[in-house]
Chains A and B, each alone.
Chain A
Amino acid sequence: GQNIDQPTEMTATEGAIVQINCTYQTSGFNGLFWYQQHAGEAPTFLSYNVLDGLEEKGRFSSFLSRSKGYSYLLLKELQMKDSASYLCAVMDSNYQLIWGAGTKLIIKP
């Protein structure tokens, strides 16, 4: 079966760095997405990785290792507004998105 695993909840301190991991097992692979979702709102796109390596975009970076079925989202210089759920999603061979359950990130002052 297809499976996406990510931690349920993480806590970090304002100004610090946090890494949210995602491991996946899917039928084929056409890219991995990270989305941010604030409570009560729809998800917003953060990043897309299809090749191995690190993609940096401002304070957020996303890493992919296809051979390991592994990705992480790195958030630097954490701000209180970064408190949200972070969803990992993998596009399978049918171009369907398989969603993880999301990681709730709590930022403390």
Chain B
Amino acid sequence: GAVVSQHPSWVICKSGTSVKIECRSLDFQATTMFWYRQFPKQSLMLMATSNEGSKATYEQGVEKDKFLINHASLTLSTLTVTSAHPEDSSFYICSATSGRAMETQYFGPGTRLLVL
């Protein structure tokens, strides 16, 4: 099956620093990648959709200057949380599809971010 990896799996950082999270599709070409955030006991919240080679589409209420997304290749997308604050502490999950309509999203294992 399709495998998606994320790195790092967890990170602790000081307030004001930037954190980069990588999402890789290991055995397929991901033309579309999604970034989600999930707070405890809540469902997934889509942050943005990124297509390879183009700018990400952000959901309403998500600051694009704070959450920088780069999808430079068909197997890699990165999410950078700039100037992180404690309220950014969350579980960040990426998913990927090969871009065909109605394609199943395959999820990475998630990155747990704790901002002190």
6 further A-B pairs in the complex, CB-CB below 8 A; given A30-B102, A97-B46:
A30-B101, A33-B105, A41-B109, A42-B107, A42-B109, A87-B43
Interface size of B by Cβ–Cβ distance < 8 Å?
A: 19
Contacts A30-B101, A95-B101 hold; do A45 and B44 have CB atoms under 8 A apart?
no
Contacts A42-B93, A42-B110 hold; do A102 and B104 have CB atoms under 8 A apart?
no
Residue on B with the closest CB to A33? Answer: B104
What CA separation (Å) do A13 and B106 show in the bound complex? 30
Check if A12 is an interface residue, CB within 8 A of chain B: no
- B86-116, CB under 8 A of A: which get 1 and which 0? 0000010100000001101111111010000
What CA separation (Å) do A34 and B71 show in the bound complex? 27
Interface size of A by Cβ–Cβ distance < 8 Å?
A: 21
Chain B residues, Cβ within 8 Å of A99: 43-46
Check if A3 is an interface residue, CB within 8 A of chain B: no
Residue on B with the closest CB to A4? Answer: B43
Check if A44 is an interface residue, CB within 8 A of chain B: yes
Instruction: Rank and list the top 3 A-B pairs by shortest CB-CB distance, nearest first.
Output: A42-B107, A42-B110, A101-B43
